[in-house]
Copies of this chain bind each other. A is one copy, B any other.
Amino acid sequence: MQTNRTTPSRLAKRAQYDEATIHPILDEALFCTVSYAIDGQPMAIPTAFARKDDKLYIHGSVGSHFIRSIERGAPVCITVMLADGLVLAKSAFHHSVNYRSVVIFANAEKVTDEAERMEALALITDHLIPGRWEDLRPTTDSEMRKTTVLSFALNEASAKLRTGGPNDDPEDEQLPTWAGVVPLKIVRQTPIPKEGDALLPLPDYLV
């Protein structure tokens, strides 16, 4: 949704507010950064997360200072960024980055429904490693008691994207400097089994 605080001051044409743009970015990104403020002092924590419908979930230890600081409904700003490429222009000034980012303004809500809490943990696990959750032993009551799950509404979220090559000044176009894009990609490398576990077969979802 476009509101004052989701409207960028610069390059507003890069901003988008539709779920069809925002949700896939959230689903592809592995981590988000949750920013909050205590007495005007900004604080920020990178963390795992997952999205379902128009909610974003994070989790943490019930004892975490971060979690306790926001669980009563503190306003947060959650950012996600996928860096797709380095954009090399003819001038330093027009160098840029191809990216897909999402900024969310929301207030933390502590999830209390046990079924929703469990589902959120499954979503967070499967967001990082799709297919993992159903391979695991059930989470115990004791583990659940040690875990806080927070949700955030996505109704004040915006996406910002840049794609394509450099936008050079006309007078620079003929410079003999190489220009273009160096694509960036996060790759999952060969899994390393836990010591003593080398004989267990690699699950399909890791192949």
Please list the residues of chain A having a beta carbon within 8 angstroms of any beta carbon in chain B. Answer: 5, 8-10, 30-31, 33, 35-37, 40-46, 48, 61, 63-66, 75-79, 81, 83, 86, 88, 90-93, 95, 97, 99, 101, 103, 105, 121-122, 125, 128-129, 132-133, 135-137, 139-140, 143, 146-147, 165-166, 168, 172, 175-195, 197, 200-203, 206
Query: A182 with B99: in contact, given A37-B41, A37-B42, A137-B91 (CB under 8 Å)?
Result: no
Say which residue of B48, B103, B188 sits within 8 Å of A184 (CB atoms): B188
CB distance from A39 to the nearest CB of B (A): 9
- Do residues A178 and B193 form an inter-chain contact, with CB atoms below 8 A? yes
The prevalent SS among residues of A at the interface is mixed
How many chain copies? Answer: 2
Q: Which residues of B contact A88 (CB under 8 A)?
A: 129, 132, 191
Complex CA–CA separation, A46 to B32 (angstroms): 11
Supply 17 A–B pairs (Cβ within 8 Å), ascending by A.
A5-B41, A9-B63, A10-B63, A30-B184, A31-B83, A31-B97, A33-B35, A37-B41, A44-B103, A46-B81, A88-B191, A91-B137, A93-B146, A95-B129, A178-B206, A182-B192, A183-B188
